Amino acid sequence: MKKETKLVRNAGSIRTTVPSAMVEFLGLSEGDRLCWELEVTDEGKRSLTLIPLKVE
């Protein structure tokens, strides 16, 4: 699944929206958190993994 979102400046950060299809697929709810994991290979390729952290 591939989606694009727009980035919006908010104070010192930049925010975006999680597309509804991904919210449903990941089972996200308001208050849940996302862990952003960035990896860079020796060749300079960048990969971002989002890990949903459910709030119980």
- What is the rounded CA–CA span in Å between residue 24 and residue 40? 29
Tally of CB atoms within 10 A around 28: 18
The amino acid present at 12, given as its one-letter code, is: G
Give the pLDDT band (50/70/90) at residue 6.
Answer: very high
Give the pLDDT band (50/70/90) at residue 1.
Answer: confident
pLDDT tens sequence across 14-48: 999 999 999 999 999 999 999 999 999 999 999 99
pLDDT, position 56: 76
1-26 mean pLDDT: 92
Where do the structural domains in the chain lie, given as residue ranges? 8-53
